Amino acid sequence: MKVLAKKTVDKVYKKIQKARKTEFHRFSTNVGIGADGTPTEYVDKIAEDVVIRFLKKAEPRVNLLSEEAGFLDMGGEYTFVLDPVDGSRNAGRGIPFYAVSLGVGKKMLSDVEYGIVKNIPTGDTFLAEKGHGAFLNNQRIVTPNAPGKDTLACLSLGKNYDDATIALADKNVVRSLGSASLEMCMVAIGALDLYLAGKTYLRVTDIAASTLIVREAGGVVKTINGNELDMPLTLDERTSVVAGCSEEMIRCVLA
Residues 16 and 135 placed together within one structural domain of the fold: yes
Which pLDDT does position 132 carry in this prediction? 98
Percent of the chain beyond pLDDT 90? Answer: 73
Residues 108 and 158 placed together within one structural domain of the fold: no
**Among 23-27, 51-55, 93-97, the least confident range:** 23-27
Residues 172 and 196 placed together within one structural domain of the fold: yes
The residues pairing with 65 across neighbouring beta strands, listed in sequence order, are 71, 81
Which pLDDT does position 202 carry in this prediction? 94
In a domain, 82, yes or no: yes
Residues 188 and 115 placed together within one structural domain of the fold: no
What CATH number is associated with residue 126?
3.30.540.10
**Among 71-75, 140-144, 169-173, 213-217, the least confident range:** 169-173
Residues 168 and 110 placed together within one structural domain of the fold: no
Give the tens place of pLDDT for each residue, 110-145.
999 999 999 999 999 999 999 999 999 999 999 987
Residues 196 and 231 placed together within one structural domain of the fold: yes
Give the tens place of pLDDT for each residue, 205-225.
999 999 999 999 999 999 999
Residues 133 and 187 placed together within one structural domain of the fold: no
Q: Which of 107, 47, 53, 111 is nearest to 83 (CA)?
A: 47
What is the band of 244 on the pLDDT scale with cuts at 50, 70, 90?
very high
Edge-to-edge strands, sheet with 239-244: 173-175, 152-155, 194-202, 239-244, 220-222
In a domain, 102, yes or no: yes
Residues 123 and 19 placed together within one structural domain of the fold: yes
For residue 58, is pLDDT > 80? Answer: yes
Range of the domain at 51: 2-141
DSSP letter, residue 176: -
Last residue of one domain, picked from the residues 111, 141, 171: 141
In a domain, 131, yes or no: yes
Residues 33 and 58 placed together within one structural domain of the fold: yes
In a domain, 146, yes or no: no
Which pLDDT does position 159 carry in this prediction? 66
Last residue of one domain, picked from the residues 86, 116, 141: 141
Mean per-residue pLDDT, 157-174: 69
Residue 178, by phi and psi: left (phi above 0), alpha (psi -120 to 50) or beta?
left
Query: What is the count of structural domains for the chain?
Result: 2
In a domain, 86, yes or no: yes
What is the band of 50 on the pLDDT scale with cuts at 50, 70, 90?
very high
Which pLDDT does position 39 carry in this prediction? 77
What CATH number is associated with residue 190?
3.40.190.80
Last residue of one domain, picked from the residues 93, 118, 141: 141
CA 5, CA 114: separation in Å to the nearest integer?
A: 9
In a domain, 199, yes or no: yes
